[in-house]
Amino acid sequence: MRVSRAPEQRGGASKILLYLSLVATVAIAGILVTYFTTGFDLRSATGDQTGLTDLAVAPAEVAPVVAPVAAAAAAKPDSELILLADEPVTLPRLIPDARFGEVLSEGLVEVDLPGEVTAESWYSFQVNTSTRDITLFFALYGNSPDTITRTVKIEGYTQRGALNIAEVTLFYPEGTERQIIYDGGQGIITLSQQYPQPYGPSMFSPELRVAMVNQNMVLTDDSGNISTQLQIDLSGFSDSEHMVFTSSDPDLVNAALSEIQGIVGQIEDRRPK
């Protein structure tokens, strides 16, 4: 009995393996090409977006640096400005507006008055540029820096020299000011004051008012050293009446000028040089 065997197909398995290897190689190549192409595009897009992001964020990174500097500057203002704002005002708020020439020196000092009383005094030395005469003006304050009780004006002032004349003005809370002149040359004290009166429409004609408005009355004592002149408005239409009092008393005038000189001496000694 003859047994025949099918012929062997040599090399068949190798061909199959070769075919599979070729397919795998092509697949891997396709995957690699796709990966590198897509990866490059993603990296390019990512790189561009990162750059834009940095540019957009850059100004925000500066803000935290500037903010602390501004805060530090606001937290540390000029200490001198704070002191000026917080310290009480040393000068009185009410300063006399007295101008007689060019100011040489002015300021605020404290003076001693009779009766162990002290008062603040505003002084001003001024010179007449034409005549070169010096005028000393000073004011005395009451309990408040807004209240001036009296002022003194001395014309022809010479430093440390004896006073020859002084003009004093007295101020009252509910009244008109009173002016007193101490004239050492003539030994006379002159006091003048106006008294405001209520007035309204006049019931008299203009001609009659003129005749009635300037009514003067002079009063004199027996010695003739004291006299008083009153100006009275009989029509009741003028806004004030006037009084002038004169006394001839050289000793009294010299005593008053001497005490005023004592206050002037304190101003000279205590004012800044």
* pLDDT tens sequence across 59-69: 444 444 444 44
The pair of structure tokens assigned to 267 is 């101003």
Dihedral over Cα of 176, 232, 153, 100: its sign: positive
Write out the chain's pLDDT in tens, 273 residues.
Answer: 443 444 444 445 555 666 666 666 766 766 655 555 555 444 444 444 443 334 344 444 444 444 444 444 444 444 333 333 444 445 556 888 888 899 999 999 999 999 889 999 999 999 999 999 999 999 999 988 889 999 999 999 999 899 999 999 999 988 889 999 999 999 999 999 998 777 677 788 888 887 887 778 899 999 989 999 998 888 777 767 899 999 999 999 999 999 999 999 999 999 998
Supply the pLDDT for residue 22: 67
Supply the pLDDT for residue 146: 86
Whole-model pTM: value is: 0.63
Q: Which residue bears the tokens 């009084």?
A: 243
Which residues are CB-neighbours of 233 under 8 A, at least 6 positions away?
197, 212, 213, 214, 215, 241
- The domains of the chain are located at 13-87, 102-270
User: In Å, how far are 125, 149, 184, 215 from 167, measured between CA atoms?
Assistant: 15, 14, 11, 27
Strand partners, 94: none
The pair of structure tokens assigned to 81 is 């400005």
| Encoded amino acid at 120, one letter | E
CB 113 within 8 A of CB 131: no
Number of residues that this document lists for the chain = 273
User: In Å, how far are 42, 197, 234 from 212, measured between CA atoms?
Assistant: 114, 15, 5
Q: How far apart are CA 242 and CA 10, in angstroms?
A: 156
Q: How far apart are CA 190 and CA 188, in angstroms?
A: 6
Supply the pLDDT for residue 18: 61
Which residues are CB-neighbours of 188 under 8 A, at least 6 positions away?
246, 247, 248, 249, 253
